[in-house]
Amino acid sequence: MGIRTIGVVGAGQMGNGIAHIAALYGYGVVVQDIAQAQLDDARATIEKTLARQLRKEQITGSRVVETLERLRFTTTVGDLAEVDLVIETATENASMKYEIMETLSKVVQPEAVLATNTSSISITAIAAHTERPDRVIGMHFMNPVPVMKLVEIIRGLATSDETYEEVRTVAERVKKTVVCSRDMPGFIVNRILMPYINEAVYALYEGVATVPDIDTAMKLGTNVPMGPLSLADFIGLDTCLAIMEVLHDGMGGDSKYRPCPLLKKYVEAGWLGRKSGRGFYNYYRE
């Protein structure tokens, strides 16, 4: 029968982006978060992005209305009981993800697929916290979800071929390009991206250059849309640190993945990047 309805757990920047494109491309979507304020923000962000897409004539007015009609927001996990696929987008913290998946495994109909948008944690380990490891898979979107074309799909040890095919179909229907990664720390994107960002923080820490010069060097010198420190602020420094820690632990403490002490200090200070108003740059006046 295939997947027709999607639950999104967590209404942060990844969750609202995934909910946006899922509803835009015809899925009924239930967004669940424990915080009502987060749900309100998610709805506002989706409405704003849809309005921008309408203004640019990328979508019609009736498509905006239909998309919003397909979205439901709730603080109750039980409201996910009937969906065909759940995509979990909670904070990058293994024990939190295990707990959420344990709950979902009990609450959501047994034949539903449980996907996780983890950017680095083992899918096999997450799946082991459910009663249906064959129906668990990694579906890693990039930020900002409506713009970025990629989805990494990661199969755990027990993921079935059917689960993989169903999830791949969803990713293609929302117009993403799929790449497949083995279930190794950081998968493809973060295995390569995070050591690059971490190295930029080391360059700053060791006084190689200033924040703007490091970013300008990489932006103009390698033709990327954002410099690495700007990108780290965009992703969230807590997320960057969490991924570096998964890489470091998962690779047996290999020193090439050692998180830069300056990155740790920023996170300790609560300087998490754009979302907290301060990171390598100041965003208070934005």
Judged by the rule CB under 6 A, the positions of this chain that interact with ligand CAA are 49, 52, 56, 119, 142-144, 146-148, 189-190, 193, 225-226, 231, 235, 239
CB of residue 233 vs ligand CAA: minimum separation in angstroms? 11
Beta carbon nearer to ligand CAA, 52 or 106: 52
Q: Do residues 96 and 68 make contact, with C-beta atoms less than 8 angstroms apart? A: no
Residue nearest to ligand CAA (CB): 119
Judge whether 240 and 232 are in contact, CB under 8 Å. Answer: yes
160 included as an active-site residue: no
ω into residue 144 within 30 of 0, thus cis?
A: yes
Q: Give me the least distance between CB of 90 and ligand CAA, in Å please.
A: 13
131 belongs to the catalytic site: no
Among 135, 134, 126, 128, which residue's Cα sits nearest to residue 108?
Answer: 135
Pick the catalytic residue from 152, 166, 181, 230.
Answer: 152
Closer residue to ligand CAA in complex, CB, 80/151: 151
Is 193 or 237 the residue whose CB approaches ligand CAA more closely? 193
Pick the catalytic residue: 140, 181, 198, 245?
Answer: 140
User: Smallest distance, Å, CB 92 to ligand CAA?
Assistant: 8
- Which residue in 105, 119, 120, 122 is the catalytic one? 119
SS3 174: coil
Contact 20, 50 (CB under 8 A): yes
Beta bridge partners of 114: 86, 136
User: What DSSP character marks residue 141?
Assistant: E
Closest CA to 92 of 64, 122, 70: 122
Q: CB of 151: closest distance to ligand CAA in angstroms?
A: 11
102 is catalytic: no
Residues 6+ apart with CB under 8 A from 212: none
Q: Smallest distance, Å, CB 115 to ligand CAA? A: 15
C-alpha 150/C-alpha 21 separation (Å) is: 13
Quick one: 81 or 224, whose CB is closer to ligand CAA?
A: 224
Q: Which is nearer to ligand CAA, 74 or 143 (CB)?
A: 143
Given the complex with ligand CAA, which of 49 and 105 has the nearer CB atom?
49
Q: How far is the CB of 133 from ligand CAA (least distance, A)?
A: 23
190 noted as active-site residue: yes
Q: In the chain, where does DSSP find H-type helix?
A: 13-24, 36-55, 61-69, 94-107, 123-127, 161-173, 189-205, 211-222, 228-235, 237-250, 261-269
Tokens for 286, please give them: 């934005």
- CA 73/CA 24 separation, integer angstroms: 15
Active site residues: 119, 140, 152, 190
